[in-house]
Amino acid sequence: MSARSKARKRAVDVLFEADQRGAAPVEILAARIAQPGTEASLPQYSVDLVEGVLAQQARIDEFLSTYAHGWTLERMPAVDRAVLRIGAWEILFNDEVPDAVAVDEAVELARSLSTDESPTYINGLLGRLVDLKPTLLA
């Protein structure tokens, strides 16, 4: 697993933990950053991902809600929400990551962390965002 893949996993952990605890992701993030050199500390790319998702969460959630046929964000498994938010941020707001890589990484995270159906669903939804990217960001 590459360093960026591990960073994505750690970012999913932060978003998932915040969701499950009903806490603000910035609180969980601050707690992880405050522990440098420990198992709980985060790589910089994890921090960038969480901060990026938080900065654009309203737009990301709007796009996901609009194109998630048959599912509301609230009805999705929490881990899928976290993976989708990170994947959507990388696709829509991070020019350093090719869209195909962002989708593949999200699918792999879903494969290892979520249900059997999640990878296919996440691939389809993020693929739709890739197709609509020029329109969404216009």
| pLDDT one-digit tens code per residue, 15-31 | 999 999 999 999 998 88
What is residue 32's predicted lDDT score, i.e. its pLDDT? 82
Task: Enter the tokens of residue 107.
Answer: 């699918």
Are 42 and 15 in contact, with CB atoms under 8 Å apart? no
Low-confidence residues of the chain: pLDDT under 70: 34-40
Task: Enter the tokens of residue 13.
Answer: 């952990």
What is residue 1's predicted lDDT score, i.e. its pLDDT? 76
Task: Enter the tokens of residue 99.
Answer: 């869209």
What is residue 61's predicted lDDT score, i.e. its pLDDT? 97
What is residue 38's predicted lDDT score, i.e. its pLDDT? 60
Are 129 and 88 in contact, with CB atoms under 8 Å apart? yes
Task: Enter the tokens of residue 87.
Answer: 């994947």
What is residue 78's predicted lDDT score, i.e. its pLDDT? 95
For residue 119, the tally of other CB atoms under 10 A from its CB is: 20
Backbone angles phi and psi of 115, in degrees to 5: -80, 170
What is residue 126's predicted lDDT score, i.e. its pLDDT? 98
Burial 57-96 (b: 16+ CB within 10 A, else e): eeebbebbeebbeeeeeeebbbbbbbbbbbbbbbbbeeee
Q: Please give the CATH superfamily to which domain 3-136 belongs.
A: NusB-like (1.10.940.10)
